[in-house]
Structure 1
Amino acid sequence: MISQNSIAQVFETARVEEVIGDFVQLKKSGSNFKGLSPFSEERTPSFMVSPVKQIWKDFSTGKGGNAVTFLMEHEHFTYPEAIKYLAKKYNIEIEETERTDEEKEKANTRESLYLVSEYANDYFQKIMHKTDKGKAIGLSYFKERGFTDETIKKFQLGYALDEWQAFTDDALKNGYKIEFLEGTGLTIVKPEKHFDRFKGRVIFPIHSMSGRVLGFGGRILGNDKKAAKYLNSPESEIYHKSKVLYGLYFAKQTIAKEDNCYLVEGYTDVIQFYQRGITNVVSSSGTALTPEQIRLIKRLTNNITVLFDGDAAGMRASIRGIDLILEQGMNVRVCTFPDGEDPDSFSKNNTLQDVTDYLSDNSKDFIQFKASLLFEDTKNDPIKKAETIRDIVNSIAKIPDQIKKEVYIQECARIMDISESVLFSTLAQINKKESQDANKKYKQERKAFNVVKTEPKPTRKIDIQYELERKIIEILLIYGNKTEKFEDLVLKEDDVSGDLILEPVVHEARVFEKIYLDLQEDEMQFSDANFKMLYYSIIDKLNQDVDFSTKTFMQELKPEIAPMVTGILMDDEKYALHDWERNNIIPKEKEHTIPQLVSQTILSLRCFLIDQKVAAFKDETLKENSDSKSIMEDVKDYLGLKMLLSRKLGKVVGG
């Protein structure tokens, strides 16, 4: 268990915009930050982070909370894991008691797989650094590749002994179960025996965006032609290779800072580049690039530079990846290295300045790259040239942004010496065919199922009491501690006419005191259980703490309540997503009318409750043996009160 002092220190130190900034590219928007949702596929930002309130809200999915809840949602951390992650990030020492055997037993399958992976990571490093075989074989290999001790330690490189069961036996001896060793793919289990997947290989641990070990890549060191040179962990509950990029954990901050990501092919390409000083680099780990991997990068930047070695055949095979990047609406450039060189060797044999200069001078726009690569095949063959141009236009067709499409068409016309009108016509044909194919597919899918005619859904009825109760919670959270001058309207007899009039009486009070006393007057109870719990919790906190803050209050909330509170606090911030001010639409600031807002909300709620009460009385008169006369007198009293409250509400709203 983590001590409360440690938890409080983590919450006090952690900045939500810094934590989320490690995973999502955030841009300043007034006093807040906005970005693309990491929980859904979108092209228009609907994700808001408030540094003042220290909370975030994703308007596309409804999720929200503080720094801890973000890690729990995004990285699937448990609460203790999120606290430990933040403690590590901010160099806070955690105080905790040792987990009991019973607590270990209760850990779920997913967590058990993570624990096994972490154990394996430590084991492989220990073998390489602490054993003679590890030093002689594994460590010497990495040294020969030119990796420094600092780099080897940073990337947590290791070595698996060339023995059939060395790792598995050690893990079992230390209490790790065979089903979880098999679940991670570290151990291959057969009916008659089990053995280590990575035996005799140097190990590259593969981390999640937050630094958790998901799986491993292993390179064989012998000359066994039957064995694969590189071997990755199989798919598991925690490792999905199509959704992971090697090195992203180490590169994410520089990618966001430099607003560019270098994409290479292998593990050593990433490590060598990083060691040379270019740290915004990731790898697809030898697998074909996927849309999920591209979207991981897109959270941090819209710019990708793909780095290829000098092998033309390999480059052609990788062109599809460029089209996938374009489909995601990203900007892509390509840089190729001289024949016989790859990112690993080139960065190893050149200075940082030489490498950065080379990347700057030789990075081409994707059209220039495709044209130069494919043009070699065309020579003076007009048919092949036409195919090359169509290939380039096919790539341009995948770009979602219309302005970019037009710019690229103009660039293609210039490079390939062909008229723009012909290219625009070709682009239109491609788009038309894609649209026809999509419609055809849709019709086929419809035929495959029985189409059932459904009645239109009824319009959702607004729950007025729910909305008013929600507004009261919002006012308490945002303005509860403020002291304001409230104008109460008191019913008095006019000295001249003798008529009853509403006379204003001004008094000063804290907002929460005003709300509490007014609601107590009617002995009003919240109908929503969550709002009721929040109401009394907030009132209690405000009574006890003059320095009440929503940040502190959020720390103590149950995880299931936090998104609701975040939604209430961030409701107004969603308007900033649309840049209304840039269009000369200025939302009214609530701070200027807090007393009016409080009075209007309470009076509206009181009027609504009276209507409910009157409706209940009317139902009562329909029952047998009801005292209709007494009930009608009550109704008359309530209607008189409703008339008075409505007069007050009219004055509050109208001024």
Structure 2
Amino acid sequence: MITQETIDKIMETARIEEVVGDFVNLKKRGTSLIGNCPFHNEKTPSFNVSAVKGIFKCFGCGKAGDSVRFIMEHENYSYPEALKFLANKYHIEIEETVDYKQDAEVQQTKENLFIISQYASDFFKKELWEGEEGKAIGLSYFKERGFREDIIKKFELGFSPDIWDALYADAIKNGYKLQYLEETGLCIKNDNGKIYDRFRGRVMFPIHNITGRIIGFGGRTLKSDKNIPKYVNSPESPIYHKSNVLYGLFQAKKAIRDNDNCYLVEGYADVLSVHQAGVENVVASSGTSLTIEQVRLIGRFTKNITILFDGDSAGVKASLRGLDIILEEGLNVKIVSFPDGHDPDSYMHHVGAGLFKEYLEQSKKDFILYKANVLLAEAGSDPIKRAELIRDIVESIAKIPDQIKTSIFIRECSNLLKVEERILISELNKIRSAKIKKAPTSPQPIAPDAVAKSTDFREDPSLVKETNELQEREIIRLLLTYGHEFVSWDEDAEKMYIGPFIMSNLTDVQFEDPVCRKIIEIYYKEIDLGHLPTANQFIKSDDNEIAHLAVTLSSSPYHLSENWYDKHKIYVRDESVNLKSTILGGIFHLKKRKVDGMLENLLIEIKTETDPVNQEILMKKYALAKNLERSISEFLGSVIVK
């Protein structure tokens, strides 16, 4: 178990903007940072990070929390695993109350797979740099391909000896279990029970996840035997899903963010070569067709993708068909194609780093126009093929969600294809109409837990209905925001803390919302102990419901622009300017709701009561409650209609 001192140190050191920034491209807006949520698909940013409060909140899907909660949600880690992840990021030594030896016998299955994968990577690296076969064959191969040693080390390349069970034998000797070697695909057991290494006799390309942990491998054979597959990749496992992974993203994510562009190539060697040319914002789909998950992964860091195509025209045409998914996600796509016979790897080594970088900058073409040119060249003067290509191009344009971009592409393609704009627009409308007709018209059922998780009354006030939830949560928000402030509301009055003042005015109020009630109970206990709770205490609570509500009530999707005053000289009053009115307003609005509920219940009792004596008692109670309501309403400036 991790000691409390270590937990406190991690919490104090971890900066939410740095932790989230490793996974999401954040931009400043007002006092907060915003970006596209990594937990659900969205094109308009609704994911907010507050560096001051140390919290994140998505106003789209509702996910919220601090640095630890973010890592738990994003990496599917347990609480201790998330703490260890942050400790490793900030180089904090973990102190635990019991001895802990990190080896292949750790408790969590996923952690076992991470550990065995890291062990395998270390084994392959050692074989490459120290093994006789590794140096003679593997290292020589990489150097013959023109890769510098710093690039080989940066990407942790390795070599698997051409021996049936070299990795297996070493792993078992060091205490690792066959179960995890098989689950990661590093070793295979055949029908006869014989165990052998999957990657024997291959140079190795470790595949990292976005946080830098090794999750799989790609192995290239150096043999010329055509019966042996050129590349072998790790199979799917609990830690490796190839459709969700981009090779080189861990090494490239900072450069992608800094350059606001991501170069996309096909293979491992392409990534290494482009890196070696000094262009580090490059990733590969590792030979698989580009998936929607991979596109969304890139979309976290930039809205601009540049595809690097080799000179194989057949391959280009096949690839063009699968790139519309990028347009659908609202990303901008450009294309760079290389001369026939060259791919990014070969062309970089052919012309050198300097000319390669120049070529990338000078040869970018917009995807739609590039696609139109390629298909035009193929169609020639054949009218049927030209008609087909026009539909193909318009279908791609129809995928673009931005109407301004759509309009520009229609105009550009009209000139290029020699077709009137109105005809292209007509075809575009047909495609979109057909898509709308195919879309389901009946409302989708809402999962019960989806409603339960929506705990932000500001996101959907309709969920509150006739309960007191909105007013109760407003009280909690005021406690979290201003409870620790020491103020004097009147010139002659003594200073006081707002938190205890609010609580002293709620002694006659019973909270109905269970989470609000828990927070109020904690607040009372802390005050009795002489402590004044802070918002941070609730945000970091072990109770997920309390933590989620605390983050939600400490966040807002709206930010007042400084331009209101700086440019327009319009001063907008803040609620903190008159805290007395804000606090008393919150208290009396809640009390009014409670009294209104009391009046409704009394009316029902009066109507159903048959005993005249009891009915008179109820009428007196109703009159007293009505007077109380009138007093509260007068304070709030309300007009009572009934």
1:252 is the counterpart of 2:253: yes
Q: Is the 8 A contact 2:30 2:561 kept in 1?
A: no
- One-letter amino acid matched to 2:574: E
- The structure-2 alpha-carbon separation of the partners of 1:505 and 1:577, relative to structure 1 and needing over 3 Å to count, comes to closer
The Cα RMSD (Å) is: 3.8
Q: Is the 8 A contact 2:599 2:625 kept in 1?
A: no
Q: 1:514 aligns with which of 483, 488, 501?
A: 501
* 1:38, distance to aligned residue in structure 2 (A): 1.5
**Alpha-carbon distance in structure 1 between the residues aligned to 2:103 and 2:264:** 42
- One-letter amino acid matched to 1:81: E
SS in 2 for 1:61: coil
The match for 1:389 is: 390
1:533 is the counterpart of 2:518: yes
- One-letter amino acid matched to 1:126: K
**Alpha-carbon distance in structure 1 between the residues aligned to 2:558 and 2:156:** 45
**Alpha-carbon distance in structure 2 between the residues aligned to 1:361 and 1:61:** 41
The match for 2:476 is: 473
**What per-residue deviation string (whole Å, max 9, x for no partner) do you get for residues 586-642 of structure 1?**
986321232222222223334444566677889999999x99979976984685366
* 1:348, distance to aligned residue in structure 2 (A): 3.4
- The structure-2 alpha-carbon separation of the partners of 1:315 and 1:75, relative to structure 1 and needing over 3 Å to count, comes to same
**Alpha-carbon distance in structure 1 between the residues aligned to 2:103 and 2:168:** 23
Q: Is the 8 A contact 1:276 1:348 kept in 2?
A: no
Q: Is the 8 A contact 2:539 2:548 kept in 1?
A: no
- The structure-2 alpha-carbon separation of the partners of 1:138 and 1:648, relative to structure 1 and needing over 3 Å to count, comes to same
Give the alignment of 1:149-164 within 5 angstroms.
149-164=149-164
Q: Is the 8 A contact 1:157 1:205 kept in 2?
A: yes
**What per-residue deviation string (whole Å, max 9, x for no partner) do you get for residues 425-467 of structure 1?**
332333344445x26x989x9xxxxxxxxxxxxx856363333
**Alpha-carbon distance in structure 2 between the residues aligned to 1:581 and 1:627:** 63
* 1:123, distance to aligned residue in structure 2 (A): 2.5
Give the alignment of 1:58-207 within 5 angstroms.
58-96=58-96, 100=100, 107-193=107-193, 194-207=195-208
Give the alignment of 1:276-425 within 5 angstroms.
276-425=277-426
SS in 2 for 1:49: strand
Q: Is the 8 A contact 1:69 1:559 kept in 2?
A: no
Q: Is the 8 A contact 1:57 1:63 kept in 2?
A: yes
- The structure-2 alpha-carbon separation of the partners of 1:639 and 1:313, relative to structure 1 and needing over 3 Å to count, comes to same
SS in 2 for 1:138: helix
73-82 vs 292-301, which deviates more? 73-82
SS in 2 for 1:202: strand
- The structure-2 alpha-carbon separation of the partners of 1:279 and 1:138, relative to structure 1 and needing over 3 Å to count, comes to same
- The structure-2 alpha-carbon separation of the partners of 1:262 and 1:511, relative to structure 1 and needing over 3 Å to count, comes to same
- One-letter amino acid matched to 2:320: I
**What per-residue deviation string (whole Å, max 9, x for no partner) do you get for residues 31-65 of structure 1?**
11222222112222221111221111112221100
- The structure-2 alpha-carbon separation of the partners of 1:286 and 1:70, relative to structure 1 and needing over 3 Å to count, comes to same
- The structure-2 alpha-carbon separation of the partners of 1:553 and 1:561, relative to structure 1 and needing over 3 Å to count, comes to closer
Give 5+ residue unaligned stretches, structure 2.
445-461
1:590 is the counterpart of 2:575: yes
Give 5+ residue unaligned stretches, structure 1.
446-458, 488-503
**Alpha-carbon distance in structure 2 between the residues aligned to 1:221 and 1:338:** 26
**Alpha-carbon distance in structure 2 between the residues aligned to 1:413 and 1:175:** 67
SS in 1 for 2:122: helix
- One-letter amino acid matched to 1:392: I
Q: Is the 8 A contact 2:414 2:421 kept in 1?
A: yes
- The structure-2 alpha-carbon separation of the partners of 1:402 and 1:179, relative to structure 1 and needing over 3 Å to count, comes to same
- One-letter amino acid matched to 1:184: T
Give the alignment of 1:555-574 within 5 angstroms.
555-570=540-555, 573-574=556-557
* 1:200, distance to aligned residue in structure 2 (A): 1.4
Q: Is the 8 A contact 2:588 2:636 kept in 1?
A: no
**Alpha-carbon distance in structure 2 between the residues aligned to 1:412 and 1:619:** 71
SS in 2 for 1:575: coil
**Alpha-carbon distance in structure 1 between the residues aligned to 2:479 and 2:321:** 54
Percent identical across equivalent pairs? 44
* 1:538, distance to aligned residue in structure 2 (A): 4.6
Q: Is the 8 A contact 2:160 2:201 kept in 1?
A: yes
Q: Is the 8 A contact 2:105 2:112 kept in 1?
A: no
1:600 is the counterpart of 2:585: yes
SS in 2 for 1:603: helix
- The structure-2 alpha-carbon separation of the partners of 1:410 and 1:538, relative to structure 1 and needing over 3 Å to count, comes to same
Q: Is the 8 A contact 1:580 1:586 kept in 2?
A: no
**Alpha-carbon distance in structure 2 between the residues aligned to 1:102 and 1:148:** 33
Q: Is the 8 A contact 1:480 1:542 kept in 2?
A: no
The match for 1:492 is: none
- One-letter amino acid matched to 1:473: I
Q: Is the 8 A contact 2:515 2:545 kept in 1?
A: no
TM-score, normalised via structure 2 length = 0.85
- One-letter amino acid matched to 1:566: V
* 1:229, distance to aligned residue in structure 2 (A): 0.6
Q: Is the 8 A contact 1:512 1:539 kept in 2?
A: no
**Alpha-carbon distance in structure 1 between the residues aligned to 2:273 and 2:102:** 44
**What per-residue deviation string (whole Å, max 9, x for no partner) do you get for residues 301-352 of structure 1?**
1110000111111111111232221122211000011222221122334454
The match for 2:4 is: 4
- One-letter amino acid matched to 1:237: P
- The structure-2 alpha-carbon separation of the partners of 1:246 and 1:339, relative to structure 1 and needing over 3 Å to count, comes to same
* 1:514, distance to aligned residue in structure 2 (A): 0.6
The match for 1:449 is: none
TM-score, normalised via structure 1 length = 0.84
- The structure-2 alpha-carbon separation of the partners of 1:602 and 1:146, relative to structure 1 and needing over 3 Å to count, comes to same
* 1:69, distance to aligned residue in structure 2 (A): 0.9
- One-letter amino acid matched to 1:603: F
SS in 2 for 1:62: coil
130-139 vs 284-293, which deviates more? 130-139
247-256 vs 76-85, which deviates more? 76-85
**Alpha-carbon distance in structure 1 between the residues aligned to 2:154 and 2:474:** 50
